[in-house]
Chain A
Amino acid sequence: MAGEKLETVAVVEQPDKPAEIQIGRDFWPFFRKESKPKGNPATAFNLLSGVVVAFSILAIVYRLFAGLGSPVTNLSQLSPLGLWIGFYIMCGVAFAAGGAVVPFIVNVLGVKKYRPFLRVAVLNNLLTSFFCLVVIVLSFGRWWNIPNVFIGNGFGANSVMFIVLWVFLLTIVTAALQFRPAFAEWIGNTTSRKRAATVALGATVFGITLSVLQQTGVGALLTMAKGKIHPLWYSEMLPVLFFVSSIYAGISLLIMVDAISEKVFSYQIDEEYRNSRFDVMMGFAKICGGVMFGFFALSLIVAQFEGDFAFVNSEMGYWWLLEIIGFVAIPGLMFAHGAQKKNMLTIQTAAVIAMVGILMNRYNSVFLAYNWDLPFAERYFPSALEWIVTLAVVFVQIWAFRWIVNRMPVMRKSPQWAEKFDRD
């Protein structure tokens, strides 16, 4: 499958000499020029996403004046977290974990073959963290007070949420530092590019640390919901379980991004990316397969340790078995099989199943297994507007991703002049 379209692709032209745009002086004219849409904006995707986003903006404005209650959300006193936090904070953070795994492989371990995927992973992490903050503003009831967390109007350092919010902010800064080389190459600023290279390792190390804190922290948000989350999903080990599952979640997302980019951004993908692609995907599959087996074993050990197998023979128990076997063990096997047989399609299918498994796992923790013993009428199910707004945020993130990939060297090779700045 790989490398069939090699010749047909037009390579994006790269300027030989840096344009030397300075941020203060001539950035805005440059930015205005670059802002123009590249290609025809009237595609089906743009039309669909545009409608969804426009509709959501109305919903959001309504939410700001009328509060979070019906009809905007179906949140209730017994289901305070809901879809927005469930999707972006729980799942989004897990899917952004590639932004720590790939820099770990490339910058810390120094494995060069994964380098073409570095910026994609970092960009995804940057955008996800940013849009997580956006969703936090949307879903927190007293959003205008959120700066209190950062300016010290009551430092609740004993709170997991405090750490999670700080890490979001720091992740945005760090990921921006990690992404600075691409930005500097875009504006063609050699000084900025040089400086970016000097902090590369530091930013990577700090970024990975933040990611570990974030993945475990998101799990720790739920540790005080003991007695509310079904025992099969609740565990005092939730931080560890969330951390381990985020590794394969993040990589599965990168496999999907690669599969989609191969079609959508084919004109961006350079020779180096194309040549290493197959190899890298096989490497990703091996990591995913290994981690998923680890996660499967860990889940069973935790369940055994906490005596949860007593609950397996029930409706919730079957649902748990489906998740743990159908969406962890089986895709894990598929990854292993795909890596062995070098079958890209198996790996991509496994990645999709693994991602659905992550969605299931996080949604179960936040609402399907949350207060599961309530009568059905009192159970939470997201409202139509919650789904639409969630979809809209995802669309805007895709727009941002596409806008940046189309302008900065994310998938394509860095310009010639920039290569000498990377020391490793």
Chain B
Amino acid sequence: MDRRTFLKIIGTGVAGATTGSLLMPVQSLAGESTKTKEFYGILVDTTRCIGCRRCEQACAEVNGLPVPDISEAANKQVFASPRRTTVTEYTVTNRYETEKGTIFVPQRCMHCNQPGCVASCPVKALEKKRAGHVIWHSNCIGCRLCMVSCPFDMPKFEYGRAVSNIQKCNLCWDRYKQGVLPACVEVCPTQALMAGTRRLVLEEGNRRIAANPGQYVDHIFGEYEVGGASHLYLSAVPFDQIGFRKDLGTIPYPEYSAGYLRAVPFIATLTPLFLLAVNAALKKGIEKSEPKTEEKHSGTGKH
């Protein structure tokens, strides 16, 4: 949180306290069309992706990153081995040779419904917006627990800089606020990417599976994985053949640390009680074993 937002919050708080809630909400949230109760999502149809890498180029341009060379010659080299996203490449497209031929898969932050990175952040530098975007703020302390906690290894840390940030796809949050499609979706020439509310793109995904028997495997990656995500993938082949993990399960990642977090209040209250009780119980025994001084004191007090 920078000083301006801080002052804004204080300001709205004071305004709210003095004039009731009449003045407050509309203006301060005017810029954000976030009053939705549904997550935004992108359907990625890997059977349509042609590996042109224009999404990578558009992403770099929008986010002010080094723009990649996407000429045919460059692509040939790039696709030689699978890549991971980096601090300057929020999205990468990989090529996989499978039983059904060559498949291209664009990969970026999944924007989980219940993100491990957000749950692991001690200063809420990572935030899950109401609209589904997982974005990063500069009050981050750089502990990198988000990187440990992300099942997809998406948050990337700038090791080589004194002021280092966490970098990853933010589902074009700024563009979303202006009502514009994410850059990658907008530029895609084959409609391999489709944006909308998560419910709508999920419906569309299921429709495609039903309407084209045999073309897709009957599974949308991201529908249930780690509790669901905003990036939803369709595939012609089982997902482990195109670089996805099969062992993620459907439990949201925050659940794994929730056991400890739920125990914290109990540890914090019951441990001292237990210790004091043990101490008191043992003390009484000690006092009884040497009763003389005690009795004298209480005796003189009473009589």
Give residues in A with beta carbon < 8 Å to B: 64-70, 73, 75-78, 80-81, 104, 107-110, 136, 140-143, 145-146, 148-149, 153-156, 158-163, 165, 201, 204-206, 208-209, 212-213, 216-217, 219-228, 236, 239
Contact = CB atoms under 8 A, between A and B. Distances in A.
Interface hub of B119, B145, B163, B254 (most chain A Cβ within 10 A): B145
A96 to B, nearest CB: 17
Contact of B282 (A66, A110, A161): A110
Given A77-B153, A143-B142, 14 more contacts: A69-B160, A77-B157, A80-B148, A81-B148, A142-B140, A145-B142, A148-B141, A158-B254, A160-B257, A208-B275, A209-B267, A209-B271, A209-B272, A220-B261
Interface stretch (B10-18, B34-42, B120-128): B120-128
B96 to A, nearest CB: 17
Nearest to A221: B145
A226 B253 contact: yes
A154 B124 contact: yes
Contact of A225 (B149, B248, B271): B149
Contacts of B248: 227
Given A145-B123, A154-B124, A209-B268, A222 B162 contact: no
Contacts of A239: 259-260, 263
17 contacts: A64-B162, A67-B164, A68-B159, A76-B159, A80-B157, A109-B278, A141-B142, A142-B163, A154-B137, A155-B124, A159-B145, A160-B120, A161-B121, A208-B275, A226-B253, A228-B148, A236-B256
B264 A163 contact: yes
Nearest to B247: A227
Contacts of A141: 140-144, 157-159, 164
Contact of B257 (A66, A77, A104, A224): A224
Interface hub of B141, B160, B163 (most chain A Cβ within 10 A): B141
Contact of B256 (A81, A212, A223): A223
B159 A67 contact: yes
B135 to A, nearest CB: 13
Contacts of B147: 77, 80
Nearest to A204: B275
A381 B49 CA distance: 38
| A-B pairs with lowest CB-CB distance, top 7 | A141-B142, A69-B159, A142-B142, A220-B260, A224-B149, A162-B122, A69-B160
A205 B125 CA distance: 34
A209 B266 CA distance: 11
A213 B257 contact: no
Nearest to B142: A141
Interface hub of A69, A77, A162 (most chain B Cβ within 10 A): A77
B86 interface: yes
B260 A153 contact: no
Given A110-B286, A141-B142, A224 B148 contact: yes
Contacts of A64: 162
B8 interface: no
Nearest to B126: A156
B206 interface: no
B53 interface: no
A223 B151 CA distance: 12
Interface of B: 1, 84, 86, 116, 119-125, 137, 139-145, 147-149, 151, 153, 156-165, 245, 247-248, 253-254, 256-257, 259-261, 263-264, 267-268, 271-272, 275-276, 278-279, 282-283, 286
A213 B264 contact: yes
B18 to A, nearest CB: 23
Contacts of A136: 143
Contacts of B116: 224
B256 A140 contact: no
A90 to B, nearest CB: 12
A81 B139 CA distance: 20
A223 B257 CA distance: 6
Given A159-B121, A224-B149, A216 B260 contact: yes
Given A64-B162, A217-B260, A104 B124 contact: no
B143 A140 contact: yes
B148 A216 contact: no
A227 B121 CA distance: 19
A221 B272 CA distance: 24
Given A160-B120, A224-B120, A77 B156 contact: yes
B273 to A, nearest CB: 9
A66 B149 contact: no
B160 A153 contact: no
Nearest to B117: A224
A160 B260 contact: yes
A345 B142 CA distance: 45
A205 B283 contact: no
A80 B119 contact: no
Contacts of B158: 67, 141
Contacts of A69: 159-161
Contact of B263 (A75, A107, A209, A216): A216
A108 B119 contact: no
Contacts of A216: 260, 263, 267
Contacts of B159: 67-70, 73, 75-76, 141
Contacts of A104: 275
Given A67-B158, A77-B84, A224-B120, A212 B271 contact: yes
A158 B142 contact: no
B146 to A, nearest CB: 9
Given A142-B140, A213-B267, A77 B86 contact: yes
Contacts of B86: 77
A247 to B, nearest CB: 14
